[in-house]
Amino acid sequence: MNKKQLKRILLNRTETEYYIQKIVLSICREFNKKFEDIALIGIQHKGFYLAEKIAELIKSKTKISVPTGSIDISMYRDDIGTRRSISKIYETNIPFDVEGKAIILVDDVLHTGRTIRAALDAITDYGRPALIRLAILIDRGGREFPIAADYVGKIKKISKNMKVTVNFSSDNKKPIVYLHQNKIKSGVA
Amino acid sequence: MHDWKRKDLIAIYDLNAKEIELILDTAEEFKKVSKRRIKKVPALRGKTVVNFFVEPSTRTRTSFELAEQRLSADIININASSSSLIKGETLLDTAKNIESMEVDFIVMRHSAVGAHYFIADNVKCGIVNAGDGAHEHPTQALLDIFTIREKKGRIKGLNVTILGDILHSRVARSNIWGLLKLGANVTIAGPATLVPKEFKSIGVRVTYDLREALENADVINLLRIQHERQRSAFFPSIGEYASIFGLNTKTMRFVKPDALIMHPGPINRGVEIDSKFADGAQSVILEQVTNGIAVRMAVLYLISAAINK
């Protein structure tokens, strides 16, 4: 990683909290009183933290525990022929049957849409969900695939050579969003 | 990020502890793929693997083939008898011809030690060693170590005994290097003719006394008595080997009740181990077979990025 990169806060802890609440509200609005069929799947590893956070907020709002799983898309990436480095494979743990479920796929940042494309392939290898929705904390634009989120916290156009990262504190209570001037060298797009 | 830079996996001796642990961690996730309803991921879609077995093999080749298929690679098998080696083509020419067909990986078993390094230096394909003479069998050691780590939760500080024909065994050599690098205490044991004392110099305990080898062992890895490699007599008879060095009701008394019993297969029942124990609660022999696919998937996956460079 480049240590000299400039980093500033894009969304502070209060704003981040607000936008996550906004996602939870739109999910509750759509699935009003039909929570038994829904399940959350977070894309490893930031999307999984966010999924856990969303599940926690749904529970405090509705008293319903929504099953939450994690998915790692490394094995489904579309840049196999060109990629230079291998990223760590995080745990895929889907502790429920996806068959017939309304799956809410969760990730922190939506950019090119390629990660989501891979995640859709990965999830459908586990079964045939009734539907899949997409929840995103920050939609930064720059789509390369025809993919759109259903529940979005914040839409903010960020130029291609910048990187957005969501930082979850160790207790997963108060995330914060950073904008990096120089793109971080990373295996994950 | 991650430190995998190798396009080849030829010997455990070449790896450091971090690289070994990366393979094991990666294999944990690949193991789950085989447990799913759809036992396949597109990680190596569009890649071609040639399984080039100049020495015969059934289980290793089957395990590699399943690993490759579950990664969505396209595969071709070449055996010594069906290759042009018998028409006098050199090994390098055969490898160059395979490379010219835009193949990405060659999984090779060959009796000559060094053949893999030689081929790896001369072709762009990733080379995976599926066994070379009595030198190394890296994926077997990785699956053994994976199985131990899965069952015991760690490798560091464990007492591992490798019992049997160490002299002719590439499985033993790969295991010894891997276990030492990860901090295990390794003991080798068996008849003096088959257990070279030179291994002491790399930090392995050598004993010819079965009781000493079994007591305190957390893991006992049995090696097959290799009839086909044993041209001269290293011990008087199979029966004598079985009674002195085999795991049976008499010798199992020395074994800790929570020790794992392992064997790379194929088992000579009644020689290295009695059926009662090969199929008993302490045996993880079939789990080793299951884990072999996961470990081989992880190896092919990791080296796929290095081939692109």
Per 3-state DSSP, what percentage of chain B is helix, strand, and coil (rounded to 5)?
A: 45, 15, 40
Q: Residues A167-177: what's their mean pLDDT?
A: 77
Indicate the residue of A82, A89, A125 with minimum beta-carbon distance to B29. A89
Relative to beta strand A176-180, strand A7-11 is antiparallel
pLDDT at residue A18 greater than cutoff 80 = yes
Q: Which residues pair with A102 in a beta bridge?
A: A38, A131
Would you state the pLDDT for residue B82? 75
Cβ <8 Å between A81 and B41: no
B72 Cβ contact partners less than 8 Å away, ≥ 6 residues apart: B40, B41, B42, B43, B44, B45
Rounded CA separation A45/A183 (Å): 19
Instruction: Record the pTM.
Output: 0.90
Would you state the pLDDT for residue A188? 44
Report chain A's mean pLDDT, rounded to a whole number.
Answer: 88
- Residue B225's closest CA among B195, B255, B248, B184? B195
Residues of chain B with pLDDT under 50: none
Would you state the pLDDT for residue B308? 67
Cβ <8 Å between B36 and A125: yes
Would you state the pLDDT for residue A185? 53
Q: Residues A99-121: what's their mean pLDDT?
A: 96
Cβ <8 Å between A88 and B37: no
Q: Which two tokens stand for residue B79?
A: 């055996």
Would you state the pLDDT for residue B203? 96
ipTM of the modeled complex: 0.80
Indicate the residue of B42, B304, B309 with minimum beta-carbon distance to A76. B42
Would you state the pLDDT for residue A4? 57
Residues of B in contact with A98 (CB under 8 A): none
- Residue B261's closest CA among B243, B242, B288, B241? B288
Ranking A10-24, A75-89, A165-179, B35-49 by mean pLDDT, the lowest is A75-89
pLDDT digits (tens, 9 = 90+) for B5-29: 899 999 999 999 999 999 999 999 9
